[in-house]
Each structure stands twice: as structure tokens, then as C-alpha cells.
Structure 1
């Protein structure tokens, strides 16, 4: 199909009639007014918790603790979950599927009681899980391998494996349940499957290999996916031949995408971790409507059941931001656990009672320190969070503003300007957008804080990854 004809066809298919009822992803259900029975869930990677938020009051009710922080989770006898990351929910809102990357597991949680119903262990490094629109199966992308694990939603047993390109990132389904779209985190190839037969029926070329997230529009006409390594977002037709409709340069560390269908139209919301923003696009002509500053390293995103709010997990701020879709303004920020990844808004998740059973206080899961690294000219380029694990911290740096595909080292320097001996913490390679997510572990807060009882060190980024480089490019903001 020629590009002009393709665009006209897509635009015609996306027209929202004035009489049509608004619908929200992922199953194109009619609007559900928000209320105290709704819940927002956030999967939190470093505290190994799931935060539970009441959107009617924008308050944290507590956390479901699936695992312990370090060093307890390093024991050979440890049975909890590690690196709680992915999150999906059933069409009836009664069940969560929580993926833990480090323990290769999917934990099924009853939303009414917050109780764990079952934990299914699958292949290496699963990433995301989602229920089919009929609620009978859960498709889990096993990113460390080359298949999707299909789990029976009633027995919690793996019933099949769907072969994919290596490193499947996430599966999302067409609202009618016909197609499953599986993007890749290691190959520039998105695969489309027929859900009923599990046969591959299409391919979409990814402009780069690293797709972390994919979502289908509520009207069933489009699928959008993000490319974290090159800072792009791609929209393609949800129907054969699955043609690409638009490639958008969204920015460094482009994370997740989701949609809200409102009286004003259907809009895509994309989290841009490198600029701490949320970008809003129309889905008819793909024009950008707004840019919303939201906080440090926005990651997961989900709309309310009526599309009036969009909720964003702030990975380096341990918070959940609520955005009014009518004004595209942040209206609330809610403290939650450490490093939220995927989030989900479940309308009517609590059918009765207060929904607080089994929840624990946030406690240590909310403890973190925040730093910034600046260029030698003084421009803020990198946000750093030190997630408290007791005597040590997990350091996470959202690095931007560097040369693409080049080796660097995050290190401790003797002096604030980066001079003196360097003590390397983590070597890393920037992606094609000149950004990276860098992690390290240690008693780092005790070394870099102004209250340090030992000779203070300063976080810096230097060129080269061999420890011999002395060319400092970013220093800790004083």
C-alpha cells in the first residue's frame, strides 16, 4: 500500500463517531466511573513489593510484600521473589499476574484479599504477563529465552510455549482477542500470532532491537510500541498486513505507552525517562498535543477506567503521578515503593470491604536518596537514586546527554570536580540515543552525602570503561 493511501485508510478507521461510547484499553470495555472500589497497582523492582493505591483519595493503602531486599534475598534458602517488575490483570479485575525477573516467576494475587493464590516458575528472565481478553490464559514473555509461556489462568500451570524471535519483550492482545502482538527486546522483529491457533500470522520490522512495551488502542485499530534504545515510538495497523503507520522520535529512554479515549478523542501517552516527561499524541494524525513534566524517570503508565486520569510510575522518585487528561496537568503525586516498573489501574478490583487485608506498611520500601549529575557546563543530565536496602543501597542512574554507543564508567572521585583517583562502580555502554540505565550496589550514600563520616567521595561519569580514563564528562551536583 502506498504511504498516502495507507495514512488515509488509517485515519478513516480511527474516526470516533459523536455517538460512540468512550472505551478504555486493554479490552475496549465501556467507560467505568472511578470510585473507591478501584485500585492502582505498581510493581516495584528493588523493594520487591506491589504498592496498592486508592485512586478516589490518591492515597497509598499499603504494599503486598513478595520478597525481601538485599542481602536477605542472596541466601541459598531464600524463597521470596526478586526484581518484581511486570504486571497484568484479568478482564474481571479479580486477579493480578506479577512477574519477577530475578526469580523467574509469575505470582497470581487475589485483588479482593491481596493474598497470593499461586506462584508459577517459568524460564529465564520473564518480563511481562497479560491475560487474553477471554480471561482464560496468561501469556508471559520469557525475555531471557525465545518463547512466550502460556499459562492456564485457572490451574496456573504452563500449558504451551509459543516460539518467538529471541528476547520477547511483551505481549498485548487486540481487544477482540484475535491477535497477540509480541515485540522483541533483542531482535528488530515484532511477531503477530493468531491467539486461537497460536500460529504466527505476521511480522512488523522494529527500527531497533530493544522494545520494552507495547499497547493496543481501545478502538482496536492501532498498536503502538516503544524503543528504549533509540528513543522512538512506532504505531502500526492492528490488522493485516500490519503496516507501520508512523515512526515518532519521542526522546531518550522512551519507556511505556498507553491510551485514554476521552470526549476530545483518543490519545497516546508515552513516558520519556530521559527528560522526565510524558508526551501526548493524537492517534488520528499523530500530532503531539502536549508535553507534561512528571518527575524523575517516568516508566509504567495506565488510564483510569473512565479515561479521566492517567497514572505514571516514577522509577527514580518512588512515586505515582496522577494526570488529569482534560487539562494534561499533574494533579497528585503519591509515595509508593522502590523503583516502580509496570503499573495497572483495575476498575472495581475490590468488590466489597476496604481492600486492606494482607497489606503491610511501606516502611523501608519507601527509603531512598536522590542526587543529580551535571555536565561540566552545569546542565543537569543524569538523575541518580540510592534505594535503601539497610546498610547498602541499590544505585540507579538514568544517564543522558552522552555520545551514542560509547564506553563510560560511573565512578567515585576524590574531589567535586572529578579530579583525583577514580574508583569505578559500573562500566556501561550508551545506547544509540546517548543514554543508559546504570546500576551498582554498595554503601554509596555514606560516601557521597554531606554527612559522610569518612572522606567524602563524589559521583562522576568518565569516558572509557577500563578505569584508566581521566576525562570527566559529568559530576555530582553540589
Structure 2
């Protein structure tokens, strides 16, 4: 099989990572062995997700965010809730990223930790690459080109391999996490979106964006063991496995639903109506019990459920964020905090799980997507090899006006979210204007304009809604000097426009799948 790998700093990895990280453990082993003498001690974790450890927060812990527009990974010290800097994996979204000679990463999006918290796996969804980073030094160990529209992945229990779901190829690609390069790939069904691992390390669970099912794969043989059908929707953006390994929660961003799956009985036990842009689930075991947390981007909320394995979980509270579009989330090692990335505010909110209140907000890189928490990941005070790319210049969420003259940005009742959101960022000295529309007229073309202080308008771009009247992500790049954004209807889309939209969807159809995804799903991946 042809694959490309880039090795960076191999000597440092061989001398600093230790023999355990280099593959002395069987894939079938339930848990990795304790660190050898002289290694930095990693807290024990369950399923590589850090949700069931008992590790008090310290200066050796780290929080990471994957920043899609600045193409960075932000590094935070949770002991002080201070941003230490960023790891640049490419230049920011504009500029040389459009050049055929560009060799950096584009669309830094997915994150996962090895179970010893010594290595971070980073998935870039546009350049289709996986970078493995040493958490002690913030250095890239190796980089591998993987399958089309690679999205989210996980390390195997021994840390030797990184499995990533390829949304555009119906495959999971297996990466050599120690040396780089593709080991193999195998089919798992239409539009795989993410891979998570059982606590014993023997079973990988894959959700999909083109099928309402979960695929269970034997980690040792790469064979499909079974499939759990009957999820709430065919498009599952993210998933997480509970610390005890008994439940899997799969979110359905477009439908505003979440499926709760009993992994012992291999069946769906509940489909929760959670709201627009339902996103990442995660878990926290606290002194008050075991809870599931779920970001709902379209409501600027995080929902908290008391778990009820085998039954329907109960909604405990809704946490309201001051920022916009909560996305990735992860608990601290001791479960006392939940860290939540705010996609449209370039920030991380810190939730106290005892009170379910936001206690702090931390600035990070541009457009944070996935987020992970790593106990005992780095030396105290270490900020080696970090820069400042993507930091500063917080985005603005500006007012919007619909064609009938009403405001588009107020939150609507009945959990419908906003009709029109507009976020403006400074990227490489130019404004990136991001629009998201809900419940407009279907298959209709709209003209978006920047409204100046004196009321004059400057055209930004036109876009066409889908058959539901939605536009998940519309981008324009301009010198934005306006104070708001307004829409004007240009009427029903022409036959030519609809034909181009149909052709684009058909071109992105997954081989062997029953449906298609739109180009925006594969290119900018706001659907995680």
C-alpha cells in the first residue's frame, strides 16, 4: 500500500518516550502497564478518554484544542487556566494554503490521547493528515497522509497505532503511531465519522454520517464483530463511550438528537431531543453521581444528564454559555471540571461540575473544534516549542437582519436556535465572515451584505439554502468594516444552481453508500 510519512525528531522520541510507548504491549491487553522507572507518570485512564481517573488537577496537566482556522493546537495549563501557546501545524486558512506547493496542514480538527497521555493524535480534515505530538515537548513526532475526509480517531490501548475514520472512503485507516505511515485500512460501512475504544482495548466502535448504526470492530483482527442499528438519525457527528464501558452516546448534529446505546445488550435505549447543532458528548463521575455532558451549539448550551444505564437518562440542567457554539469537551482527571471549546468565540469555558456553572473563560486559537484533557502530560511550567499563531483578535458575532427586516440573531423559543448567525474573524489581515442560516426558504438564493454605520450596504456573497432552508456554513473573505450583516432574497434558485448542488453532492458520494454528503461536510467539516 502506498503511503507517505514524515518523521520529525525521531531521536528525541526514541530516547524520551520510553519502551512502553514503542510497542511492548499486546493490542489485546486490557490496560497498559504502569510507567517504567524514570518515565513521567501518566494517570490511568479509561478508554483513552480521561473520564474515570482520580488525578487532582496539577501544573503537569494540559488541555488541548484543535483550531480549524488557525491550523494550530492550543496548549492550556489547567492549574492556572492560562494559555501557554500554540503548536502551528500549518499557516492560517488564507494565503499559501491555496497554493499547489503548500505542504502544511489544513483544517486542524480532531484530537485523541494515548492512554498514558504522552502522545496527542491530531487529525486535519482538509489535508487528510494525522500528526502525532509528544505532549512533554510539544514536538511533532511524525505525520501521515491518510484517507479522504479523515475526521476523528483513537489510539489503540498500547499506543502503537492510531485509528482514524475516513468519511469519504468508508474506511478506517490504521496509522503507525510510533514511526508514522499507514499500516493498513479496512472497510467499516458508509461514511465512518469517529473511532472510540472499549475500556479493555479489544473493541473499536465506529459511528457514521451515512447510516443510523454503530459498527463494532475487533481491534486484533480488524473484522466487524457486529452492528447496532436503529439510531435516531443517519448522520452522527460525534460519539463517546462511558467510563464503565456500558454506554455509547452518539450525537446527531443536523437532526438535533442524541442516541444512547446499551453496549451490553447491543441496542438503542433512548433517543433524546437535544437541540440544533447537538455535538460532542462526554462524561464525568463526580461526588453527586455519574453524568453525561453534551454540547448543543445552536443553543449556546451544554446539557447535563444523569446517566441511567439500560434506561432513559434524565436531563438535570442546561448550562448557558456567554460565548457561542460550544463544540468539543473533556473532563479534568478528577471530574471536578468540564472544559468546553467555544467554536464561534475562540475560547474555552471552564465548568465547575459541582455547581454546573461556568467559572472561567480562556482564549485559544481560531475556531476550536475537538478538545482533550491530559493529566500528568508535561513537566510543571513547561511551554517548550510553543508559538502565538492564532491567538488574540477575538472574533465578533455581529447582528443580522433577515429579508423581512426582522433580526436574525435572537434565540428563538422551543429550542429552535437562531435564524441567522454571523461571525467575523481576522485571518491573515483579512476578515473571514462565517454565516449559518436555519429555517429560511428552501432552495432559495440569498444575497448577504455588510451594513455600514451610515446604513449603506456592501455585497459579500450569495448562497443557496438546501431543501430544509438551511445553510450550515457560508464563508466570505473581505475587508469587513460593517456593523451588521443583512440578507436579501433573490428568489428560488435557478435550475442551473440546483443542478450544480446536486452534482456536488453526487461527486462526494461515498463508494458503496446509500446516500451522499455535501461538499461542505468534507471540506470545512463544521459537522463534528
TM-score (norm 1): 0.84
The residue aligned with 1:409 is 446
Secondary structure of residue in 1 paired with 2:298: coil
Gap change, CA 1:195 and 1:371, over 3 Å in 2: same
Alignment pair present for 1:261 and 2:285 = yes
Q: Whose strand proportion is higher, 1 or 2?
A: 1
Report deviation, 1:125.
Answer: 1.4
1:229 corresponding residue in structure 2: 254
Q: How many residues align?
A: 434
Alignment partner of 1:357 is 2:384 = yes
Shift of 1:394: 2.6
* Structure 2: unaligned runs, 5 residues or longer: 1-43, 411-417, 496-528
Alignment match of 1:216 (pick from 236, 241, 246): 241
Partner of 2:163: 139
C-alpha contact (below 8 Å) 2:65/2:371 kept by paired residues: yes
Select which of 275, 282, 299 maps to 2:327.
299
Distance 1:271 1:55 in 2: 20
Q: Give structure 1 stretches of 5+ with no counterpart.
A: 1-21, 451-457, 469-478
Which residue of structure 2 lines up, in the alignment, with residue 19 of structure 1?
Answer: none
Determine if the alignment matches structure 1 residue 245 to structure 2 residue 292.
Answer: no
What is the aligned partner in structure 1 of residue 147 from structure 2? 123
Matched ranges for 1:317-336 at <5 A: 317-336=345-364
Pick from 473, 481, 484: which aligns with 1:438?
473
Q: Which residue of 2 aligns with 1:454?
A: none
| CA distance in 2: counterparts of 1:281 and 1:40, whole angstroms | 23
- CA distance 1:269–1:55, change in 2 (3 Å): same
Say if 1:415 and 1:38 are closer, same or farther in 2 by CA, change over 3 A: closer
CA deviation vs aligned residue, 1:101-156 (integer Å, no higher than 9, x gap): 11110011111111111110112111012112332221101112110001122222
CA–CA distance in structure 1, aligned partners of residues 434 and 246 of structure 2: 37
Instruction: Work out the CA distance in 1 between the residues paired with 2:219 and 2:315.
Output: 33
Aligned positions of 1:8-27 closer than 5 A: 26=49
* Shift in Å, 1:97: 0.7
Alpha-carbon separation, structure 1, partners of 2:458 and 2:136? 55
Query: How far 1:435 sits from its partner (Å)?
Result: 5.0
String of CA shifts for 1:355-411, please: whole Å, max 9, x gaps: 2111112456644332132565446123321221234333223434546x6545362
The answer as to 2:486 corresponding to 1:459 is: yes
Q: Distance in 2 between matches of 1:252 and 1:430?
A: 17
Q: Name the CA shift for 1:360/1:236 in 2 (closer, same or farther; >3 Å).
A: same
Separation of aligned partners in 1, 2:390 and 2:326:
22
Q: Which residue of 2 aligns with 1:475?
A: none
Query: Partner of 1:9 in structure 2?
Result: none
Tell me: CA distance 1:464–1:218, structure 2 relative to 1, closer, same or farther (3 Å).
farther
Change (3 A) 1:388 1:176: same
CA distance in 2, matches of 1:62, 1:317: 17
- Comparing 114-123 with 204-213, greater Cα deviation is found at 204-213
Q: Does 1:148 align with 2:149?
A: no
